[in-house]
Structure 1
Amino acid sequence: MVHETPYVTAPPTVEHTRPAAAATLLALMHAQGEVERLSEREQLLSSLLVSVNAVLWAVDWESRRVLYVSPAYERVFGRSAGLLLADHREWRNSIHPEDLDYAEHSLHRVLEHGAVEDREYRIITADGQIRWLSDKCYINQQAEPGEPVIVVGMAEDITEKKQLELELHRLATTDALTQSSNRRHFFECANQAFDSACAQGAPLAFLLLDIDDFKDVNDTYGHLEGDQVLRRIAESGRGVLRRGDLFGRIGGEEFAAVLPGCAPEMALQVAERLGKEIQQLTFSYDGQDFNVTISQGLANLSEEDSTLDSLFARADAAMYEAKRLGKNRVVAG
């Protein structure tokens, strides 16, 4: 009988084990390197998110659950990010009441368009500050059918930019001396009011007023005192007129008002009250008191008025008639 010797694998020698150990070591070193690189990337991303002033956010649209909000949220909103992550209504509660409907409705447009990039609204911070935000939002296009719709966005604090815009608008539309509308802005708004009144068949009154003998005021008391007269008359005009009325300085000592929705009888009462208010103003120069009066021309919208210019022309003619009749009065044309 032939005895077969079973095959026995020889134990690995040092030479055999060295390549395997080296490969394992290299694999471990590579894995560790990848972990370190990922960690570095996470730290870099975290540092970037901390330094970015814009608020980055992500919301599960179906559940309205806030999935993520960047660290800038607490700086911009002045509120706890933890509270927002726990309850999405924290965002709603921070919006200025006058902008709430717009902010919510504009957010819903993202479902129709996939992106909404023109949202601007105000928020109220925890300490009562009002800030303007430009908030852009997008739908996550990577979502597969049946997966949750994720809306991501970026809200940027544009308060300084908005304040600059408002200041530039104020400077462009306001008379520097009296803080009333300047001529250009007044007539822009007046034409809009005229078109609206014609379209709705609503009443509209145009009131033109001129300071009587204003040249004498400047010659007697000086231009600084004349400027004070102009400022005080503008204050009286803004005080007497109703909310929604337009008032502006359209010339040196000439002011105008447009009264939307004001019937002729009421417009005449407003003009007479304004005249009395201004007549009661007292000015003092070098121990001497003096008063001023105004002459006013009033024109009410009629079917013959095809443009604001015709209404203005009738008010202008009526004002000169008031001057001719002795000043300090209202004439309706």
Structure 2
Amino acid sequence: MIPTVQGGRGKGGQWRYALTESEHGHVWGVCAEVDGLFREPGRATYELFDWVPDAAEVRGWVGCRVWLVPEEEAFDPWLLEDVESPGRQRRTDALVLTGLDDCMGPPEGHRAPVRLHDGYRWLGSCREFTRVLPDEQAAPSLVLRGLSPGDRLREALATGTRRALDLDQAWLEIRDDSGEPLADRLLRPKVRAWRPSSHGPDLIDLELGEELDRPVPGYARPLWDRWLAGPPEAPGAWAGLDTREREAWLELVRDRGCRLKHQDRPAGQSYELDGRHITDEPSLYLALGEAFNGPGGYFGGCVAALAECLQGNFGYTAPATLLWRDIAPARKHLSHVLTAEGEPYDLVALVLDVLADGGVRVTFG
């Protein structure tokens, strides 16, 4: 059974979810709970033949991003995200990987050798691979429970034709308990069914024939529950998380931060960064976000986004100073990372250059 999100209204009486038409912004309806937001996403499966590891055994959770780099330079690397592995297949030399396939995927028909890395180290190589096609299954629907339908949705349901029940393109907008925007998901919803809801009179349970392309996996559910209650009040709430959880935390920080309206502070501000817990890439951007915008703050989730935030509209105005306390962990863990193609570079030095180009004078303490 797909779990539901309990407690649909925030402390201020706000509905947690809204289904909003994407072009003109009219609201189809607001609701208390959604079935289908929290579930395991569909994962691609690869079988890598003649696997030769470069380091330790690849098993369990492998990394946020694993790049498959073709031996032939004519082909670009491709990406698997949130990668897991049960390890080698019994009595074979093949390694099995599962992950979220990027939009490009491998070159069609490509079977030549590839090397794999997780952005930090080389994992190993294989002679060839195959993508295992999953069994065909009906796409799970999305059910909006306790929905208060808007006038346009009432009209569409009363009409009942296939055309009227095709809601075209819409956003499922998600707010926290204080009513502040938290995240959203883009849909192309078609009404499959509706029925009176147990949540109250004049409310319905609306079933949409739409599978979310970005459901929230089980390991991220506790993090979402924390953010749905409101943003953190103290910095470093992410420090005790592992890399996988930090990546999910950063996604929430980014989703929320890009929806907030930031008032740029005057030039000449002084900021302070706590570097004690920077041991991976997501923690670098989480620490930067909190340095510039306080607990749960966003200030870029990659180098390009950091450069964009330095241009304004995210609370910052050049010039400024940043005191980076305890840079040693970042230098230890992020001074020798890998590009998609597997070329080593110094991420800490790159970030310092981007900050300098954006008018931030960095000192260390």
Flag the structure with higher helix content.
1
Larger radius of gyration: 1
Flag the structure with higher strand content.
2
Alignment TM-score, normalising by the size of structure 2 = 0.22
More RCO (CA 8 Å, sep 6+): 2
